[in-house]
Amino acid sequence: MLGKIICLKADLFKVMDIDSKKTYDAKASGLFRMKKQDLKVGDIVVFDIIEDNKAYITEVKKRINDLVRPPIANIDLAIVAMSVKEPVFNANLLDRFLTILSFNNIEVLILFTKWDLLEESEIKDIEHIYNYYKNIGYKVLKTSTKTNIIDNELVKAIDGKVCVITGQSGVGKSSLLNIIDPSLNLETNNISYALGRGKHTTRHVELIPLLNGWIADTPGFGTMDFRGMSETDISQSFIEFFENSKECKYNGCLHKNEPNCKIKELVRNETILKTRYENYLQFIEEAKQLRKW
């Protein structure tokens, strides 16, 4: 039988039969452990029923894409939720998400949350950042979980797709899903002001039926690394760098110390955000250090 893994807690899976939509508690064959192959939420698997409501997973189908953190596979759309305030906007983390998602060929929607908390004096700077990511080709939306107003564009983007929602802890991911579908009743929590970030409320990855598709509410986290990525991979995952790199003097330019680099020129004239370039240089160095290990 063919199914989709919709939940994983410890070593116990919940599998939904693709034809009947019935769900089963399942365990995986020991062959996966022998092959050091991890099963993930989102995997399409072959399984056998061993009791009325229990199943045994024997095979996993080839993945379309695959993320490590959060551990999920076969994603149509990644919603990256970033707070503009409480917690403060984190450009480094946003670019980290975008780099890894672009490398994995996953479509991205950037969602700026808590827009209503901005003071008048803060709006101009955030609007500049918002428009920058929109202009380089990302789908970007803004919302407020306090006003219970959800952009129809967000609903249309999610409808019928397998989505993952991720981002900073405390940005309002669970609150957002509760607004879209109040019956979900996901646990939410406030910001830990002592830490300046959100308290973790989601403890595991689970696919939840939503708008004719699925969405995964994932644990909040603050770091992602570039394991398996080269410096060139990172360079090509910055979409505006990749698009303009043909104007660099040297093929394979990494936009560091090379002369006549178009990307550095665009940074100097502020066409490319300075934070984007600074984050890029940091990511390049991180990838280099990881390779040494």
The pair of structure tokens assigned to 59 is 């095979």
Domains plus CATH for the chain? 2-60 (2.40.50.140), 66-217 (3.40.50.300), 231-292 (1.10.40.50)
pTM as predicted: 0.84
Using the predicted structure, report yes or no on whether residue 167 has a pLDDT greater than 90. Answer: no
**Per-residue pLDDT tens over the stretch 183-213:** 777 666 543 323 233 444 456 788 989 888 9
pLDDT, position 193: 26
CB 113 within 8 A of CB 143: yes
Q: Tell me the average pLDDT of the chain.
A: 86
| Distant-in-sequence, close-in-space partners of 218: CB < 8 Å, separation ≥ 6 | 70, 72, 164, 165, 166, 173, 202, 205
β partners of residue 108: 78
pLDDT, position 217: 64
Using the predicted structure, report yes or no on whether residue 137 has a pLDDT greater than 90. Answer: yes
